């Protein structure tokens, strides 16, 4: 009987290469078809516009309009403001939760984790209406305050703080999970070693834990920013009518004003901001994978 060498059974590198490429081909083609092509198409449609004679020519007039229109700029600004405030509040809320979940050894931690992940299973529309019923005018909080003869609250509903509160609640699970996965890479012994050389809790957090989870922080912020820029339901239901966030703004421009070119321009501008954080994310993942 002839014994074949191992590479005859598993295949040589050369023969395996097409199989590997075929395996990634399907998702790559899907990404190209559903993401890359629409992006390229959107950019082309916003810079290759028909003139008076209906002949297409290169033009940046839709972008000029966006950046000269105060209403559009206000919408972009309120989106950036909401993004920054939400990201900051999320980190301030989620970092202590993630730290607690990483280092707590008692049973309560399991319940806290359950609570932190719970918003993931609540659809945005239900969250929005729950928010209105609780914090809106004549909501539960108002009724309770009224019952004890206290004045009405200034409801965040229909103010820029409405989407902020909703988006924070909605993004807590993902942010906690990302930070928790980063904290999983911080070994107990490296923290004990820091305490052993004299570091108190704050020094351990600042000098040991935060530098070790900086990539996770970056990823969490990137995901939050990407999510907020594409958010629609929460800003639409909870936010003010004007200025409005980019999601509802695009939808209204497209549907109510029946102006797809301007809506696509707004989308490309929103994409321009998102791509910066997307590149941050890709850079951070690549850095982690570097040998």
| Interface contacts to other proteins, rule CB under 8 A | 187, 189-190, 192-200, 203, 207-208, 211-212
- Least Å distance, CB 232 to other proteins, is 39
Token pair 């923290």 is found at 191
- Which backbone phi and psi does 68 adopt, to 5 degrees? -105, -10
CA angle 96, 168, 214 (to 5 degrees): 45
Is the CB of 133 or the CB of 207 nearer to other proteins? 207
Is the CB of 64 or the CB of 190 nearer to other proteins? 190
Count CB neighbours of 51 within 10 A.
9
Is the CB of 189 or the CB of 258 nearer to other proteins? 189
Contact 85, 224 (CB under 8 A): no
- Least Å distance, CB 62 to other proteins, is 46
Task: Give the CA radius of gyration of the chain.
Answer: 25
- Least Å distance, CB 205 to other proteins, is 13
Residue 130, classed as helix, strand or coil, is: helix
Contact 218, 280 (CB under 8 A): yes
Is the CB of 67 or the CB of 283 nearer to other proteins? 283
Residue 210, classed as helix, strand or coil, is: helix
User: What is the sign of the dihedral through the CA atoms of 163, 167, 168 and 170?
Assistant: positive
Is the CB of 56 or the CB of 201 nearer to other proteins? 201
- Least Å distance, CB 208 to other proteins, is 6
- Least Å distance, CB 105 to other proteins, is 11
């Amino acid at each position: 009987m002839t014994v074949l060498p191992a590479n005859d059974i598993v295949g040589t590198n050369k023969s395996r290469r097409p199989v590997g490429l075929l395996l990634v081909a399907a998702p790559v083609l899907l990404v190209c078809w559903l993401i890359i092509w629409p992006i390229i198409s959107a950019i082309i449609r916003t810079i290759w516009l028909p003139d008076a004679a209906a002949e297409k020519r290169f033009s940046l007039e839709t972008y000029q309009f966006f950046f000269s229109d105060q209403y559009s700029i206000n919408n972009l600004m309120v989106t950036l403001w909401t993004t920054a405030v939400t990201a900051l509040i999320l980190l301030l809320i989620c970092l202590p939760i993630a730290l607690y979940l990483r280092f707590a050894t008692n049973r309560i931690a399991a319940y806290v984790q359950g609570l932190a992940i719970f918003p993931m299973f609540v659809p945005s529309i239900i969250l929005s209406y729950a928010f209105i019923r609780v914090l809106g005018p004549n909501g539960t909080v108002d009724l309770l305050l009224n019952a004890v003869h206290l004045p009405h609250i200034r409801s965040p509903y229909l103010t820029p703080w409405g989407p902020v509160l909703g988006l924070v609640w909605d993004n807590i699970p993902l942010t906690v999970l990302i930070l928790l996965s980063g904290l999983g890479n911080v070994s107990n012994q490296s923290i004990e070693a820091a305490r052993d050389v004299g570091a108190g809790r704050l020094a351990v957090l600042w000098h040991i834990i935060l530098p070790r989870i900086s990539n996770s922080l970056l990823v969490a912020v990137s995901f939050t920013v990407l999510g907020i820029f594409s958010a629609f339901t929460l800003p639409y239901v909870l936010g003010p009518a004007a200025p409005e966030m980019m999601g509802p703004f695009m939808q209204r421009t497209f549907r109510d004003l029946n102006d797809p070119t301007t809506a696509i321009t707004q989308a490309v501008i929103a994409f321009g901001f998102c791509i910066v954080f997307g590149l941050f994310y890709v850079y951070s993942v690549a850095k982690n994978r570097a040998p």
